[in-house]
Amino acid sequence: MSARLTTLPSGLRVVTDANPMLRTAAIGLFVAAGSRHERDEEHGLSHMLEHMAFKGTGARSAREIAEAIENVGGDLNAETGVEQTGYFAHVLKEDVGLALDLLAEIYCDSRFDRAELEREKGVIIQEIGAVEDTPDDLIFDHLSAAAWAGQAIGRPILGTRATVGGFDRDAIAAYLKRHYRAGATVVAAAGAVDHDEIVARAEKALRSLGAEPAPALTAARYTGGEVLTKKALEQTHIVIGFSGRAIGEAAHDAAQVFAAAVGGGMSSPLFQEVREKRGLAYAVNAFHWSFADAGLFGFYAGCAAAKAGELMAAALDTLAASALGLDEAAVERAKAQMKVATLSVLEQPGARAQQLARQLFAYGRLIDLEEAIARIERIDVAAVRAVGAEMLAGAPTVAAIGRVGRVMSAEKVAQRLKAA
C-alpha cells in the first residue's frame, strides 16, 4: 500500500499517498460532520460554514486568503455532504506547507464577520431558489425527504430560507465546538507530498482542536412514502426509490453493482428499454447512495406528462426482470466500470485525498488497491440478483415534479412489483 496513516494522541488522523511522479499536491481537512448532524434549528449550518470558510480568519482577511493561495497558482475549495464536510487545496509541491497552514486557519480560526455572514445568507437563499428552479435537482431533495421523513438525513443540505436567515455567530460557534473535534478530523493529502512533514505541520497547526469525542449519529430510519408536486413544466420528473444498503453492510457492494448494471450506462436494461426501445425519456438512470447506516436505491427519468404511467411501468418491469434474470455479461460490465472508477482516482490527487478520507470515516481504516479490486471481483450474479430483489421488495418512495396526474402512487408501485 502506498498510503500512510498516522493517528496523533489527540485522535487527529493524517493520511497521505505520495506520488513522486507528480509536481502538484492536493491536501484537505475533512470532518465527520454534515447536514445529518444538524439539530432542527441548525438546518443548513454545515453548508453555511462552507460558504463562510474563506471569508477571513484571525490572521488574514478574505482577500489576503485569496491572494496567499492564488499568488502561488493554487486554489481553495470546500464541499458539504450529508455526513462529511471538506476543505481542500491544490498547489505546487513547494507550497504544500502554505496550503495546510491556510486550511488550518480556516478550520480553527475563522472569524465569521457579522457583515460577511449577512451577505452570505443572501447568497445561500439565492442558491436555494436556483435549486427550486431546477426540477431535476429538486426532485432528489423531495425523494430524500420522503424516504427518511422527519429526519435530518432526509433534509436538503442547503437548509431553508427560515433556518439560514436565523443563523448567527453563537449558533456557528456552538456547532463547531460540538463537531469540529480532533477525533472527527482527517488530514488527507496526495501527490507531491511528504508524509512526515505533513504530520508534523498538522500536529502544530491543529493543536487547538478539542480531543473530546464528537456526538454520535442518530440512527436513520427508512420510511418510504411519496411527494407529488404539481408544476407547469414541459416534462414530468420522476424518481422512485427503495431502501438500499449502508456502507458497512455485507450486500453493499452487490447493491452498487446492481444499480450500475440495471441503469448505469447506455447498454443497461433500463436505458435500452425506456429510451432506446420505447423512446419514453431522454434521461433515465439508476443510482445507489450509501451512508454510515442507510442506503437508497432508485432510478430517475424525465418524460412527457402523458407518458409518465407508461414510463414507470416499463422501468419497474425492467428492474423486476433484472432482479430475476440479470445476466453475467451485464454484471461483469458493471464491475469493469467500477474498477475503472476505482483506478482513475489514483490519477487525480484531489480525488485520491477525498477517497482516503472517506475510507477512514466509513471503515476506520485504509483499503488498499488490491483489496478494493478483490471486493469488486468476488461479487457474483447470484448476489447481485438477490440484493436487487430484496431492495425492490421493500416499501417504495415516489417523488415527482410537473404535471403529475399519471404518476403512479407508492402503493401502485408496490403492487406492480409484487405482480411482476
Give catalytic residue positions: 50
Q: Which three cell numbers stand for residue 359?
A: 475510507
Say which residue the cell 409518465 belongs to: 308
The torsion region of residue 11 among left (phi > 0), alpha (psi -120 to 50) and beta comes to left
Question: Rounded distance, CA 420 to CA 414, Å?
Answer: 10
Smallest CA-to-CA distance from 301 within 323, 316, 321 is with: 316
- Is residue 294 helix, strand or coil? coil
Residues 354, 86 contacting (CB under 8 angstroms): yes
Question: Rounded distance, CA 214 to CA 90, Å?
Answer: 28
Rounded alpha-carbon distances, angstroms, from residue 179 to 11, 12, 28, 83, 293: 14, 13, 17, 12, 19
Please provide residue 19's backbone torsions phi and psi, each rounded to the nearest 5 degrees. Answer: -130, 105
Please provide residue 215's backbone torsions phi and psi, each rounded to the nearest 5 degrees. Answer: -60, 150
Question: Rounded distance, CA 93 to CA 251, Å?
Answer: 40
- Is residue 14 helix, strand or coil? strand
DSSP 8-class letter at 21 = T
Question: Which are the contacts of 120, defined by CB distance < 8 A and separation ≥ 6?
Answer: 48, 51, 52, 55
